[in-house]
Amino acid sequence: MGSEEYRPLLLGLDSHARIPDLSSVAIDEFLGNRPVAFRWWPRLIGWESRLLWILSGASIIVSTSVGIQGLAYGIMLGMASAVQTVCGQAYGAKKYSAMGIILQRAIILHLGASILLTFLYWYSGSILKAIGQTDSIAEQGQVFARGLILQLYAFAVACPMQRFLQAQNIVNPLAYMSVGVFLLHILLTWLGVYVLDYGLPGAALILSLSWWILAIINGLYIILSPSCKETWSGFSIKAFKGIWPYFKLTVASAIMLCLEIWYNQGLVLISGLLSNPTISLDSISICMNYLNWDMQFMLGLSAAASVRVSNELGAGNPRVAKFSVLVVNGTSILISIFFSALILIFRVGLSKLFTTDSSVIEAVSNLTTLLAISVFLNGIQPILSGVAIGSGWQAVVAYVNLAAYYIIGLPIGCVLGFKTSLGVAGIWWGMILGVLLQTTTLIILTARTNWNAEVEKAADRLKRSAEEETLDLIANF
């Protein structure tokens, strides 16, 4: 197939450079049919890097503006990664009409999850008391949680729509919408909490309102924008058919991401059980704050990796998919080395931004070496998770996360934290061990991947999910 017939990621992106004049098909053929001289590699890396940063730059802004807001958002974000897998592969295969059906199917499943989470949020006070919280904290927590129930349903609509747009490389509008709503949210919170004095219920309801505004804007963009005229053709009863295969991928996606999020949150809670909980919690919370900011940045690169891999697998370009994996991992490792070096250089200054307590400053300084190691690993692990999402490996990665984090990393961290003199550092070493094992496993899994076979799996997945009769992607290359 000629380059004039298929340019899955370069449409609209080649106005100011010569390298993007090459299509993915041409690059795939170039990588596979001739020995590649060394002089070509800088151009090839530049071609891939440009696409990567166009995708990831806006995704980083979205990740930072939206953030990960606890249990519900983690579940919804995890479920929505299935949209990124199937829609990304459908977009690469030019099966545009299937994408709208997949989006509707995802929203149906997300709304079902919201109904289940509603009961958890409504009775959150009793749950907080059951895990040992005081009556006053449990009561205020329940008030706040009930105010967030409306937010659950906004999550259910917004998260799949965001992944739907990202899968077709619509990232800049997403960034503009997210930043705009974020700024509006700050204004509304100031008015509701500080001017009108609505307190905790007001803060919760404003969060819900802001998320609904974002969901409505995302929906209007999908319905009205010319960019989505081929991928959104209106509501269809087909969304209710053949839902089981997609449901399994959705559940695996949610488990995969939630196991990662809960692991880090669990370590902070465990630190509160140490002999000096105040200093332990303060120090690990400060370090986790920096780690979370780094994670938001890497999640943008992860989203870009997912889109690149899913698009190219759907388009039947296995060599370009593999090349994309190499470039994005090399890029993220270089960035993480830079961030790790900053942490080691400014180890004392980092803690002074958050506290003046000399004991906490010393504790944070003692943890910065572990923080630097974690930041470096964050340059690899989220990217490989993005590759897994783009390839549809969520179920495999969920098992890897369960074993590495909860069967090995967490118990070892507890032993080192409570049975040795390491304290909070011991708990962190357990986290590092878990992440290292998970990362090593994903590296082996990725290195041993048969990308030609992944193209065939992508075709089969899309055929079953979108209920299409034939999908011969192999003919594309």
Nearest Cα neighbor of 413 from 365, 374, 355 is 374
What is the model's pLDDT at position 22? Answer: 66
DSSP 405: I
What is the model's pLDDT at position 249? Answer: 82
What is the model's pLDDT at position 276? Answer: 66
Is pTM beyond 0.85? Reply is no
pLDDT tops 80 at residue 42: yes
Q: Are 374 and 432 a contacting pair, CB within 8 Å?
A: yes
Q: What would the pLDDT profile of 167-192 be if each residue is shown by its tens digit? A: 898 888 988 998 899 899 889 888 88
Both structure tokens of 196 = 């009108």
Both structure tokens of 338 = 């830079």
Residues 406-432 as b/e (b if ≥16 CB within 10 A, e otherwise) read eebbbebbbebbeeeebbbbbbbbbbb
State the pLDDT confidence band at 65, using cuts at 50, 70 and 90: low
What is the model's pLDDT at position 213? Answer: 94
Round to whole Å and give the CA distance between 439 and 377: 8
What is the model's pLDDT at position 5? Answer: 38
Measured torsion, CA atoms of residues 342, 343, 345, 348, in degrees rounded to the nearest 10: 140
Task: Name which of 61-65, 66-70, 140-144, 320-324 the model is least confident about.
Answer: 66-70
What is the model's pLDDT at position 107? Answer: 93
Please report the DSSP string for 414-437 in residue order: HHHHHSSTTTHHHHHHHHHHHHHH
pLDDT tops 90 at residue 224: yes
What is the model's pLDDT at position 130? Answer: 76
Q: What would the pLDDT profile of 261-295 be if each residue is shown by its tens digit? A: 777 777 766 776 676 666 767 777 777 777 777 77
Q: What would the pLDDT profile of 385-399 be if each residue is shown by its tens digit? A: 889 888 888 888 888
Round to whole Å and give the CA distance between 332 and 413: 27
What is the model's pLDDT at position 111? Answer: 93
Q: Report the percent of the chain where pLDDT is more than 90.
A: 14
Phi-psi region of 472 (alpha: psi -120 to 50; beta: other; left: phi over 0): beta
Nearest Cα neighbor of 386 from 466, 269, 295 is 295
Of the segments 133-137, 355-359, 403-407, which one has the largest average pLDDT value?
403-407
What is the model's pLDDT at position 272? Answer: 65
pLDDT tops 80 at residue 70: no
Q: Are 390 and 306 a contacting pair, CB within 8 Å?
A: yes
What is the model's pLDDT at position 465? Answer: 57
State the pLDDT confidence band at 3, using cuts at 50, 70 and 90: very low
Both structure tokens of 415 = 């032993």
Per-residue pLDDT, averaged over 124-129, amounts to 78
Q: Are 311 and 54 a contacting pair, CB within 8 Å?
A: no
What is the model's pLDDT at position 257? Answer: 78
Residue with tokens 């400060």: 286
